């Protein structure tokens, strides 16, 4: 059911990437890893992962939206949000959606993989795990074109230092001045694990990335399809 929201703030996170805080007129119950749609028209609903976690959102919903110049689909949403913030108008959302939420009843280690602003999906899951004191091993791999795209890198490094069961691995495609892992984030994962058979894998990024992960992880690293979670899998 559509819900009216006020736009509380819009903050740049990186080049063409924004953190947007929404305040819905009524509480929105969701699970870590679900998404909402922004209603732009009767038949125009645009999906975005919820970056906040259920236990910590305190009546607010956080989104991370990448709106590069060539991405009118997301750019139009950001412009609509900016207009609502300036005028005090409402944004209409529909939530929650998605089946790729965290499986808390599983004892398996967790592998969180994000490409670009797909980080908002794994951010919700990671934050939920920390707030609920889930202690099983968690590995977070985040890939971007360059270090600038990894806008929460310092925060994640601090989290990993504070929690011995959490490992954060940033991966960039452009390596000028970069001393960490370079190249494709899926290749980085495959290089670091002999087998993914005993892991729950949560992934967010472009559809082609999710498709490649499912193909490569199941054939090369013994991952089980029923332990692969991502909203893209409902469409590919």
Mean pLDDT per 10-residue section of the chain, whose length is 236 residues: 94 91 94 96 94 85 86 91 96 96 96 95 97 96 92 96 98 86 96 98 94 97 97 87
Q: Both tokens of residue 82?
A: 């900016």
The chain-wide mean pLDDT, for the chain, equals 94
pLDDT in tens, 9-59: 999 998 889 999 999 999 899 999 999 999 999 899 999 999 999 987 678
What's the predicted TM-score (pTM) here?
0.95
Q: Where in the chain is the domain with CATH 2.40.30.10?
A: 3-97
In this prediction, residue 94 carries a pLDDT of: 96
Q: Where in the chain is the domain with CATH 3.40.50.80?
A: 109-234
Which listed CATH number (3.40.50.80, 3.40.50.300, 3.30.70.20, 3.40.50.11540) goes with 109-234? 3.40.50.80
Fold of 3-97: Elongation Factor Tu (Ef-tu); domain 3 (2.40.30)
In this prediction, residue 57 carries a pLDDT of: 67
Helices and strands, number each (H, E), in the chain? 5, 12
Buried b (16+ CB within 10 A) or exposed e, 117-153: bbbbbbbbbbbbbbeeeeeeebbbbbbbeebebbbbb
Count of C-beta atoms within a 10 Å radius of residue 99: 12
In this prediction, residue 14 carries a pLDDT of: 84
Closest CA to 52 of 78, 30, 24: 30
């Amino acid at each position: 059911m559509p819900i009216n929201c006020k736009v509380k703030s819009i903050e740049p996170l990186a080049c063409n990437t924004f953190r947007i805080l929404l305040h819905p007129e009524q509480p929105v119950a969701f699970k870590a890893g679900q998404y909402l749609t922004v209603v732009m028209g009767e038949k125009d609903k645009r999906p975005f992962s919820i970056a906040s976690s259920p236990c910590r959102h305190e009546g607010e919903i956080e989104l991370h939206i990448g709106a590069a110049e060539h991405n009118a689909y997301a750019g139009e949403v950001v412009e609509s949000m900016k207009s609502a913030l300036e005028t005090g108008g409402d944004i209409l959302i529909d939530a929650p959606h998605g089946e790729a939420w965290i499986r808390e009843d599983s004892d398996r280690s967790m592998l969180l993989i994000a490409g670009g602003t797909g980080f908002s999906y794994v951010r919700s899951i990671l934050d939920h795990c920390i707030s609920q004191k889930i202690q099983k091993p968690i590995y977070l791999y985040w890939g971007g074109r360059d270090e600038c795209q990894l806008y929460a890198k310092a925060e994640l490094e601090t989290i990993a230092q504070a929690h011995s069961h959490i490992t954060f691995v940033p991966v960039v495609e452009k390596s000028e001045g970069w001393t960490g892992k370079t190249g494709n984030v899926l290749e980085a994962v495959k290089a670091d694990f002999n087998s993914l058979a005993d892991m729950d894998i949560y992934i967010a990024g472009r559809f082609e990335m999710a498709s490649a992960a499912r193909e490569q992880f199941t054939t090369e690293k013994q991952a089980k399809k029923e332990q692969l979670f991502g909203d893209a899998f409902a469409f590919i």
